[in-house]
Amino acid sequence: MIREITDADFDGLMTLYMQLHGNPFPERDDRVMSVWQKILADKDHHIIVAEEDGRIVSSCVCVIIPNLTRGQRPYAFIENVITDGAYRGRGLATACLDFARDIARREGCYKMMLLTGSKEQSTLDFYTRAGYNKNDKTAFIQWL
């Protein structure tokens, strides 16, 4: 099942995120839970998940960003695309990205952007098959 997160999904999402850049499971302190509640309350912040066997096994984030150009149409930013290693190759990440695209279209976005830190050709090919290209823009990152 592909859906947006609910308040009850914190543990499942954080367990999946442990596979993303080796993130540890965060402590449920006030700061972390405040961020979680802020995300849940933000109508422009969408965390999409694929659930199988009662577990969150794939996810992506889609943030809708208001914009003053392009006829004041917003754009969408995709981040934190992850699928549990045991569930890869089943189309779950593609389904999450398709769900994100549906949200972006519903919100009137004129484009979607996605960044990846991966240099793996299979990952880059996956994003190309999902409809993204690396030719239209050049991304620059400044880590803070």
Average pLDDT per consecutive 10 residues, the chain (144 residues; last block may be shorter): 97 95 88 97 98 96 98 97 96 98 98 92 94 90 91
CATH of domain 2-129: 3.40.630.30
Give, in degrees to the nearest 5, the angle at Cα 79 between 64 and 138: 90
113 within 8 A of 77, measured Cβ to Cβ? yes
- Return the pLDDT at 13: 97
Give, in degrees to the nearest 5, the angle at Cα 132 between 127 and 135: 115
- Return the pLDDT at 19: 94
Residue boundaries of the structural domains of the chain:
2-129
Phi first, then psi, for residue 76 (nearest 5°) are -115, 145
Q: pTM of this prediction?
A: 0.94
